[in-house]
Amino acid sequence: MDSIADQTVPELGGRLSVLTRQKKDHVELDRLLRQLEGAGAGGQGQVLLRIHRLVFPHAFAEEAVLWPVMRRVLPDGHELTLQVEQEHQEVNELVTDLEAVPAGDPARAPLLERLAEVLREDVRDEEDELLPRLQAVLGPARLRGLGLAWEVVRRTAPTRAHPVVARRPPGNVVAALPLSVLDRLRDLVDGIVLRGPGRGEPVLRAVSTGLGGLAHRVEHLPVMRRGEDPSTGRGSR
């Protein structure tokens, strides 16, 4: 099976195929990671915000739409998807840890390095193993249908790290709406702060912190953890 990284758009099932959409996001992620590596302490925040808005909805849509299908159609679908879910969980935990470390703190460097490493591992696993396996059993029409479903979920998914929420339905599906609203409000506030200091910056930072705290309280509701595999629970690594 050829990696989807080496296939053309027609081979992937057309521009609406979930494989094409996935590959497009992976290319953008690689660009952002290279940009992050060259950013100074002052510029990391803006790049990380763009990475968050790309990575977390992408992964959420995979876990809600693609991986349940893969577990149904592949005999080893559970094992394949669990490995990627574990990578997703580590990304969530790394980003949560980064949020607690101030910009310019030397402790950020190893966290950022590991974050980039895990994200690249995740892309390789998906492009070289999971997605070609899905392609082998589903025709182009089904891949396009999954692409539309994946895109709908991605556009309405949370955009921040939530390491407590289950990586599987029904917990992640229940969490989608409240966490997406809170995350996108926080993205808006943080985007204003990152564009440049102003007199209202302390207030905006306080609002962002409050929204983050509320989101973390929501994710601890028991219903949000239903369906979780023990190996992807918070602190299981």
Residue 1: band (very low, low, confident or very high) from pLDDT cuts 50, 70, 90? confident
Q: Note whether 161 and 92 are within 8 A (CB).
A: yes
What per-residue confidence (pLDDT) applies to 200?
84
What per-residue confidence (pLDDT) applies to 236?
59
CA-closest candidate to residue 91, choices 68, 67, 125: 125
Give 123-159 as a DSSP string.
HHHIIIIIHHHHHHHS-HHHHHHHHHHHHHHHHTS--
Residue 81 has pLDDT above 60, yes or no: yes
pLDDT in tens, 207-226: 999 999 999 999 999 999 99
Residue 15 has pLDDT above 60, yes or no: yes
Query: What is the distance between the alpha carbons of residues 41 and 166, in angstroms, rounded to a whole number?
Result: 32
Give residue 156's Cα distance to chain centre. 13
Query: What is the distance between the alpha carbons of residues 166 and 163, in angstroms, rounded to a whole number?
Result: 8
Mean pLDDT, to the nearest integer, of 22-47? 93
What per-residue confidence (pLDDT) applies to 233?
82
What per-residue confidence (pLDDT) applies to 235?
64
What per-residue confidence (pLDDT) applies to 87?
96
Residue 237: band (very low, low, confident or very high) from pLDDT cuts 50, 70, 90? low
Kindly state the percentage of the chain with pLDDT values over 90: 86
pLDDT in tens, 84-139: 999 999 999 999 999 999 888 899 999 999 999 999 999 999 999 999 999 999 99
What per-residue confidence (pLDDT) applies to 221?
94
What per-residue confidence (pLDDT) applies to 104?
83
| Type of residue numbered 177 | L
Kindly state the percentage of the chain with pLDDT values over 70: 98
Residue 78 has pLDDT above 90, yes or no: yes
Residue 83 has pLDDT above 90, yes or no: yes
- Name 30's Cβ contacts closer than 8 Å, sequence gap at least 6: 120, 123
